Each structure stands twice: as structure tokens, then as C-alpha cells.
Amino acid sequence: MALRRLAGQWRVASTGLAAGLAATGLGVGVAYCEDPRGPSFDPEALERGAAALREINKSPYAKKVIELSKQQEITKAQEAKTKQAEFEAYAKQSQVDVEKVRWEEQRKMRQQDAQTKAQLAQYEDELARKRAEFEHNKQRERNAELVQLQLEAGRKQEQEKLAIAAQIEAERQQTEKFKADLEKQVQREKALAEAEGRIKENRENEDVNRRQLQLKLEEDRKRLVEAINSVFSNLGQGAAALLTDRDRLVTSLFWVTALAVGVYSAREGTKVAGKAAERWLGTPKLVRETSRRKFWQRRGGPGEKSIEEVRRDFSDIILPGQLHNHVRALAAVTANTKRHGAPFRHMLFYGPPGTGKTMAAKRLARTSGLDYAIMSGGDVAPLGGGAVTQLHELFDWAEGSRKGLLLFIDEADAFLGQRGANMSEGLRGALNAVLFRTGDQSRDFAVVLATNRPGDLDPAVIDRMDEAMEFDLPGLAEREKILKLYLDQYIVKAGTAEGGAGSSTRIGVLTRMGLFLRGRKGSADVIATRDIDDALIQEAAEATEGFSGRELAKMVASMQAAVYGSRDAVFTPEIMRSVVQVKVREHLQRQAFAQGLHHRIVDVHPNPTQTPSTDEPSRGQTGSGSQ
């Protein structure tokens, strides 16, 4: 009891002391009066505390009370610490929760962001697609307009061309008519003058002529009467003698019969001999072109050729180096073959059209001193069953050649294709005839087959070929050389007597001068050239990739025609470029047709006078047509 009271007093004392101290030292929280002028010191609490202390001091349990009180305070302090720890743990947990919530919020935000971005991208994509579609439609419209414009331009040019052609035709007809009228008038006047002269002459000699005519008629009459008289008297005497003499009658009958038989045999014999002669001396029907002359036209054979001559012979055939050397070497080999009486070698030339196969074969024959004959495989099929006879005639004729003959068979695949069930009897016979005649090595003829499709040939035919050479489309360097060759022939030498091979180097020299003017007074066909140089020729060669030698030759011939069609007949870079442009378009169109793409390539000619529609060279062309 006493302890409890002491404890109560201790509490009072400690509270009072604390309040008093607080009021004196820090003085705001515990002891303050409610004076509106501010906090003031309250001594009562301190006094109460002091009184309580005094009372405690007096008690015998004072120490214990203090100990107890200390214990209580420690316990409280520990409780407070525990609470603080709990509170801190709670605070940390709350912090973790807050972090969790914040992280969750951020995740949601990010998700939302991503979603928004995806929507935005989709929207932008949609917009881009719509924009592209819009632009595409616009472009299509523009293209359609362009095509329309080009079509109209093409139509206009066609009309202009037609109008010019019609005008030229009308002028030509007018000139022709004028010429014909003039000729008619001259003829009439000439005839009139002649008739008048004759009439005058007759009139003057009328008496003399009449007398001469009368005399002649009188003489003729007398001769006739005498002849009739003598024939009848002879016949009468002969008939009387025959009828009286039996032997003479029999002999006469014998001779008359012998005469009739003789006449008949002579007639038939001549026919047979003619046929035989034609067979040996004439040219077989299958031969389209030959250098072999009839026997009465033959002169001495060509002498041996020097290397320089052989090189010159081949200088206008532009082939890649290796092939060129091969063909030249073959020419030399063939020439030696004939000289030494060795068998000839048969050859196969294959490659795209217009790459110089025929040209090389002819040159090979010429250089090696052989005759040549050209036939086309396409001519065999229409002969049907007669093809075999014709082919045997051809080979007989070839064997009759004194110099040896190079038989060039163009389009060989047309009748020497692989044997199959659908091959006609005629073609099968023709193939067999060729196989039979070429089965053994020949000392009289060499066969050169040319084809664009070597794969179609019968294996037995290929087996008979000793050499096979591929003639490919010309590369850039070859195209440049071919262009120079034909520019030299068709432009530089146009209208002059010069021409032929061996001059291709000249254009190089001339064009390096940059400006070359060539002109002969009085010769309308001579062409002047301006600013045509190597760079321009190279440009044309680059633009004409895929062209064959034939296409290039024709292109240059078109340039010549364009120059002649122009007002001042000067060959300029503009004319050259415009013709190249047109020819490249035509080439592409041909290729498209070949591939079955029948689309129209709109052709816009910058100047109708510079874009000749014909492929053939016009007046003044100096190239050799047979090549």
C-alpha cells in the first residue's frame, strides 16, 4: 500500500518536475497559462513535484520506488523501441506496397503507351498506304496521258510521213508523166521525120523502083515455070524407071526406111545427150548461187595466196580473234588439201542469224581457191520425192568441179533434222542421200552446214562434220569494228568508185581528226561528214548490244539513206544518234515478237527525214550485196 502511494507520489513529483523544468527550459508544451500575451511560468507544478520528492525522501522505500520507477521507464522505453521497430517494419512494408503500386502503375502506363504507339503506327501505315495508292493512281493517270500523247504524236508523224510520201509520189508521177510525154513527142517527131524522109525518097525514086520491081517479078516467074517443068519431067522419068526395075525399087525403099530411122534416132539421141550435158555442165536447180563457171567461161585457177592476201580477204569479216584465226587457218588448210589431193574436211557453222556464217563460208572458198555453191535447206522439202534425184545431181555436179567445190548448205536443219515418226518420206530420202554422199571422205567437195539450231540436226549428220564453229553475236569491240567498216563503206566511200575490204582502218584515222569533210564537186552521191569521231562510234556500239552483224550493216545503210534524205546530205552526230535510237527500238520490238510479247513499242521519230522506214540502203550504196 505504502509502496503504491509512494509510486503515485513519484509520478506526481516526476510529472511536476518535468513540467516545471519544461516550463523553465523549453517552456511551451506542459505548463503555460492561457494568457493571450504569450506563455508564462507556472510554479505550482514545480512545487508539487518538489513536495512529492520531499515526501519520497522521507519514505524508507524511496530507493525501491525509484528502482521500480526506473524499471518501469526501461520497460516503457523497450516497449517504445519495439513499437518503433514495428512501426518501422510497417513503414517499410508500406513503402514496398507503395513501390509495388507505383511499378504496377508504370507497367500499365507503358502498356498503354505501347498500345497507343501501335495504334499510331497502324494509323500512319494506313495513311502511307492511302498516300501511295493515291500517288500510284496519279502516276497511272499521268502515264496514260503520256501514252496518249505519244500515240497522238506517232499518229501525227505517220500522217506527216504519209503526206510527204504522197507528195513525193505525186511529184514522181508528174515527172514520169512529163518524161513519158516528152519521149512520146520526140518519138512522134522522129517517126514523122523518118516517114517524111522515106516518102520523099520514094517519090523521087518512084520510076526507077517500079521498073526494077517489074524486072524482078518477070525473072521470078520464068524461073518458077522452068523449075516446075524440070521437076515434073524428072519425076515422070524416075517413076517409069522404078516401076520397070524391081531391084532399084527395093533399094529405094530400104534407103527411105533407113533415113526415117536415122532421123528419129538422131532426134532422141540429141535429147539424151543434151540431158547428160546439162547434168555435167549446167547448174543443178538446188544451187542458188555459185562461183563455178561454165566450161567455156573457165580461165586458169587462182594461184597460191600469200598470208597477206589471205588476211586481206578476211579483213571485212569481223569475228572474235580466236574464231577469225580459226577460219583463216581452215582456209589455208583447205587450200593445201586440194593441192596435196587429200580429202576435204566437212564443217558445221552454227549461231544466231546474221553473224557472218555465209560470208565466212564464201570467203573460205574464195581464199582457198575452191569454187563455192550455196543452197538452202528450205528448198528441199517442196521437192518431195524429187529431192533425192536433185541432191544426187547436185553432188554429181560438185564432184565434176576441177578446183574442188565448197558446198554451203544454209538452214541445214530444214531437211537434215533428226529422223522421227513424223518425218515425210521425201525428207527422209533427202537426208539419206546426203548421208550416203558424205559418208566417205571426199577429194572433190567440202560440205559446210550452217544452222541456227544445231541441236535439231540428225546425230549422223553431226558425226560427219570434222569441224564445228560457233558464230556468236558480236561483242562490244566487234560491234565497234563492224560499225567502222560499214561507215567507211556506206558513208565515207559513198558515191566513189572505191569500196570493198581493206579500208576499215581509214575511218579511225579520219575520225580522229574530229572534223572530216569530204566532197567531190559534181558528184551528188558523195557524203560529207561532220563531227563523227571514235567516241560517237563507241557510243553507238554500246547502244547496240545484242545486234547481229547484219543488223549493224543495215543500220549503217539506214544512216546513209537518212543522209540522202536530208536537205544538205551531211552526216552529223544527230542523224547517227537518231538512226541508232530507231534501230534499237526496232531490235527490241523484234525481240519482243520473237518472245511472243506482242506489245506495241511507241516509236517517236524526232525527224521523219532522218528515220528511213526501209532497211535497204538507198542510192550510192557501195557495199557488196553478195556478202
Ligand X SMILES: Nc1ncnc2c1ncn2[C@@H]1O[C@H](COP(=O)(O)OP(=O)(O)OP(=O)(O)O)[C@@H](O)[C@H]1O
Q: Which three three-digit cell numbers place residue 152?
A: 497522238
Q: At what angle do helices 321-339 and 357-367 cross, to 10 degrees?
A: 40
Angle, helices 43-58/62-244, rounded to nearest 10 degrees: 120
Which CB, 10 or 349, lies closer to ligand X? 349
Task: Pick from 364, 414, 450, 580 the residue near ligand X by CB under 6 A.
Answer: 450
The rounded distance, in Å, linking the Cα atoms of 503 and 490 is 12
H helices of 245-301, in order, are 246-281
CA separation for the pair 481, 553 (Å, rounded): 11
CB of 471 to ligand X, least distance (A): 6
The yes or no reply on residue 544 touching ligand X (CB under 6 A) is no
Q: Find cell 501525227 and name the residue.
A: 156
Residue whose CB is less far from ligand X, 346 or 362: 362
**Checking DSSP bridges between strand 405-410 and strand 445-451, what pairing results, if any?**
parallel
627 interacts with ligand X by CB under 6 A = yes
Q: Does 553 bind ligand X (CB under 6 A)?
A: yes
Instruction: List the one residue from 16, 356, 377, 612 that touches ligand X (CB under 6 A).
Output: 356
User: CA–CA separation, 560 vs 448, rounded Å?
Assistant: 34
Please report whether residue 454 would count as binding ligand X according to CB under 6 A: no
Helix (H, G, I), strand (E, B) or coil at 533: coil
Using CB under 6 A as the binding rule, whether residue 584 contacts ligand X is answered as no
Contact between 48 and 12 under an 8 Å Cβ cutoff? The reply is yes
CB closer to ligand X, 69 vs 291: 291
330 near ligand X, rule: CB under 6 A: no
Cβ atoms within 10 A of the Cβ of 298, count? Answer: 11
> Whose Cβ is closer to ligand X: residue 48's or residue 484's?
484
**If binding is defined by CB under 6 A, does position 431 make contact with ligand X?**
no
Integer angstrom CA distances of residue 8 from 15, 57, 69, 218, 307: 11, 14, 10, 209, 149
Total of chain residues touching ligand X, rule CB under 6 A: 19
Q: Which of 13, 52, 359, 449 binds ligand X (CB under 6 A)?
A: 359
**Interaction residues for ligand X, span 401-420 (CB under 6 A):** 410
Nearest distance, CB of residue 332 and ligand X, angstroms: 20
CA distance 348 to 464: 9
- Contact assessment for residue 348 and residue 454, using Cβ atoms and an 8 Å cutoff: yes
Distance, CA of 560 to CA of 527 (rounded, Å)? 8
Cα distance between residue 339 and residue 336, in whole Å: 5
Binding of ligand X by 555 (CB under 6 A): no
Q: Which stretch binds ligand X (CB under 6 A): 178-186, 255-263, 312-320, 561-569?
A: 312-320
**Residue among 452 and 566 whose Cβ is closer to ligand X:** 452
- Which residue's Cβ lies closest to ligand X? 549
Of 16 and 354, which has the nearer Cβ to ligand X? 354
- Interface residue with ligand X among 19, 65, 319, 510 (CB under 6 A) is 319
Residue 297 burial (CB < 10 Å; 0-12/13-18/19+)? exposed
The type of residue at 288 is R
Of the pair 388, 540, the CB lying nearest ligand X is at 540
* Selected binder of ligand X within 549, 612, 617, 620 (CB under 6 A): 549
Whose Cβ is closer to ligand X: residue 138's or residue 288's? 288
Segment interacting with ligand X, rule: CB under 6 A, options 15-23, 336-344, 424-432, 545-553:
545-553
**CA within 13 Å, CB half, 34:** 0
**Closer CB to ligand X, 320 or 384, in the complex:** 320
Q: Which of residues 220-249 bind ligand X (CB under 6 A)?
A: none
Residue 566 has phi, psi (to 5 degrees) of -85, 165
Our finding on whether 318 is near ligand X (CB under 6 A) is yes
Min dist. Cβ of residue 501 to ligand X (A): 10
Footprint on this chain of ligand X (rule: CB under 6 A): 317-319, 353-359, 410, 450, 452, 471, 482, 549-550, 553, 627
